[in-house]
Amino acid sequence: MSAPDTIPSASPDAPASGWQTILRVAPHLWPKDQLWVRRRVMIALAFLLVSKVISVITPWFYKLAVDGLAGEGAADPARIMALGAVGLVVAYGLARLGAVLFQELRDAVFVRVAQRALRRLALETFSHIHRLSMRYHISRRTGGLSRIIERGVKGVEFLLRFLLFSIGPLILELVLVTLIFAFAFGWSYAAVVAVTITLYVWFTFAVTEWRVKIRQEMNDQDTDANQKAVDSLLNYETVKYFNAEAREAERYDGAMQLYETAAVKTGLSLSLLNVGQTFLITAGLIAVMVMAALGVQQGQLTVGDFVMVNAYMIQITLPLGFLGTVYREIRQALVDMGAMFGLLSQPAEVVDAPDAKPIAVSGCEITFDNVSFSYDPSREILKGVSLRVAPGETLALVGHSGSGKSTIARLMFRFYDVTGGAIRIDGQDIRDVTQSSLHEAIGVVPQDTVLFNDTIRYNIGYGRANATEADIIAAARAAKIHDFIESLPDGYDTTVGERGLKLSGGEKQRVGIARTILKNPPILILDEATSALDTQTERSIQESLHEMGEGRSVITIAHRLSTIADADCILVMEAGRVIEQGRHEALLAKGGRYAAMWAQQRAEEEDAAA
């Protein structure tokens, strides 16, 4: 449709908090109606537990093998020592293999759960965006919206995997290792390990919280740069018309410069985090190893014990080193998902009534009963508009820009709800019927037909989901574009390019008309469908539009009055009110606003012809 009479604004999305986000994701891990998902989660957790138990006992086999080689294993169970040093080394290797094997089994079982949750959330978000109002979509930028969805969906996958299989298991492993130190070597060892872990976790979380703020700034700049890039590419022709390539590049580079600054801060903060983590874990490792070395010298510990202490410290070093990355990514995933769930929390402005029923279309009588509407309470766009379109008749709306013509079309399709009065089709208030059935009953040919970057066949066939090849060709013939399509090298398989830019304005309009003909709606809205075309093309397409409107109730918004001279009724609008109405001849005879507009356009056409 043509531009709205006033650009409305939508409220910004409020991002969901971390706990709100986790609560939104949790049901996908434990759905009530999907027992197979619950089974897979339980099996995956069981594999995880077995893997961690094996990981914790693995250094013990290493210790026994060392003691066996050093001849210090007499105190160890005879049955174990009977395996010999070689057997213990083999057992050590098998334990390491088993730990990895059960980790992979865990991932193999869980992958379907994670991908299912990702798919369902992506579908939920995509469907919700289509349910949001025209007001919201006018206010948001497509590039930024796509990034929110992209990062949010990726965050779901990361959160499901690492929150369940990294943080929880890491805590379990650290507790088990601390207890082993306490019972095998003494509480002093456990205290050193516990203090090291506590300081490490505190430092990691504190620095990561600081880094998350920097990362959020980096994401904001990335989103802004992406918005500018998408906006510029969508307006490729405009950029060329104004020789603005350098200006657009400078604008994009300015956004990327801010992104670069934030990215540098992120990199420097990561270096600080890594150095601090390494210092703390190394200090703890040295302290425990010195204690173990003294124990060996004093004869309280064996060489195997010394080796086992080292093995356990290295074993907890790896997951602790991973903790900073996991925590940061989980926090970032929560931020990204919070933005996505904030989007999901954005309420749809227009919703079906609880008892809404499909519209019952018979004669297609359309009535506007004292309709008022405003995008913003401070400025009313329509002020008590009443009109009637009898079954099978054509009503034309004319008037200057901003008079409310396109708003009437938008209200008819229920992109917005009226703020006063009612719109009825065959006596049914459109707020009392389902939006799906209402949209099915109305066909729209806008001023600028926008096509999908797909084939001509797909774009025409979009008018009806189950259309056959014969239906598509028949619609193309009715729109008088079949011969043109057949003349193309790829015929109906010709790709039209993004927004249909490979076709001329007239060709795009004919494809749009064919699409609407294929839909075969009982009600038709023509929103300045030919005003952007040259006179010759306009006259040709007007014939197709006239044929398409036969037998239908039609509301046509016109700029060129010559295109609606044969309408059954013409409404002249100004400042949201109907100031004149009647047939073409009667309005000319009245000598009012319509007659003045007609005389002005005729004079302009004669001047152009001269």
User: Beta 382-389 vs 569-574: how paired, if at all?
Assistant: unpaired
Distance CA 29, CA 41 (A): 7
From 315, 345, 375, give the residue that closes a domain. 345
pLDDT at 164 > cutoff 70: no
8 A C-beta contact, residue 67 and residue 303: yes
Distance CA 537, CA 255 (A): 42
Q: How many distinct structural domains can be found in the chain?
A: 2
Q: Which of 54-58, 149-153, 394-398 has the largest mean confidence?
A: 394-398
**Residue 292 sits in the same domain as residue 416:** no
CB atoms within 10 A of CB 203: 16
pLDDT digits (tens, 9 = 90+) for 5-48: 443 444 445 455 456 666 666 676 677 777 888 888 888 888 88
The CATH number of the domain holding residue 146 is: 1.20.1560.10
Q: What six digits make up the tokens of 112?
A: 């379907």
* 407 located within any domain: yes
**Residue 250 sits in the same domain as residue 376:** no
Q: What six digits make up the tokens of 89?
A: 């080394």
**Residue 498 sits in the same domain as residue 392:** yes
Across the beta sheet with 382-389, what order do the strands follow?
382-389, 366-373, 420-425, 428-429
Which pLDDT belongs to residue 200?
87
> What phi, psi does 417 have (nearest 5°)?
-100, 145
* 358 located within any domain: no
Q: What percent of the chain has pLDDT over 70?
A: 80
pLDDT digits (tens, 9 = 90+) for 489-548: 888 898 887 666 678 877 888 888 888 888 888 888 888 766 656 666 667 777 777 777
* 7 located within any domain: no
Domain region containing 392: 366-609
Which pLDDT belongs to residue 435?
87
Q: Span 48-53, mean pLDDT?
A: 84
Q: Dihedral through CA 402, CA 408, CA 413, CA 419, nearest 10?
A: 100
**Residue 307 sits in the same domain as residue 397:** no
**Residue 399 sits in the same domain as residue 324:** no
**Residue 391 sits in the same domain as residue 319:** no
The CATH number of the domain holding residue 395 is: 3.40.50.300
Distance CA 125, CA 314 (A): 43
Secondary structure (DSSP) of 37-94: HHHHHHHHHHHHHHHHHHHHHHHHHHHHHHHHHHT--TTS-HHHHTTHHHHHHHHHHH
* 336 located within any domain: yes
**Residue 421 sits in the same domain as residue 320:** no
**Residue 310 sits in the same domain as residue 449:** no
Distance CA 546, CA 556 (A): 11
Q: Span 187-210, mean pLDDT?
A: 86
First CA to last CA across the chain, in angstroms?
Answer: 33
Distance CA 306, CA 41 (A): 38
From 345, 376, 405, give the residue that closes a domain. 345
Task: Give me the chain's average pLDDT, please.
Answer: 79
Question: DSSP assignment, residue 2?
Answer: P
Poorest-pLDDT segment among 123-132, 138-147, 166-175: 138-147
pLDDT digits (tens, 9 = 90+) for 451-497: 888 888 998 998 888 889 999 999 888 888 888 889 988 888 988 87
**Residue 201 sits in the same domain as residue 97:** yes
Q: Which residues sit opposite 526 in a β-bridge?
A: 445, 556
Question: DSSP assignment, residue 433?
Answer: B
**Residue 68 sits in the same domain as residue 191:** yes
Helices (H) and strands (E) in the chain, counts: 20, 10
* 356 located within any domain: no
Distance CA 77, CA 235 (A): 78
CB atoms within 10 A of CB 376: 11
Sequence-separated (6 or more) residues with CB below 8 Å from residue 559: 398, 528, 531
* 4 located within any domain: no
8 A C-beta contact, residue 555 and residue 397: yes
* 276 located within any domain: yes
**Residue 328 sits in the same domain as residue 238:** yes
* 8 located within any domain: no
Q: Span 339-353, mean pLDDT?
A: 73
Distance CA 18, CA 22 (A): 6
pLDDT digits (tens, 9 = 90+) for 410-456: 898 888 888 889 999 998 999 999 988 998 898 888 877 778 888 88
> Does the model's pTM come out above 0.75?
no
**Residue 130 sits in the same domain as residue 56:** yes
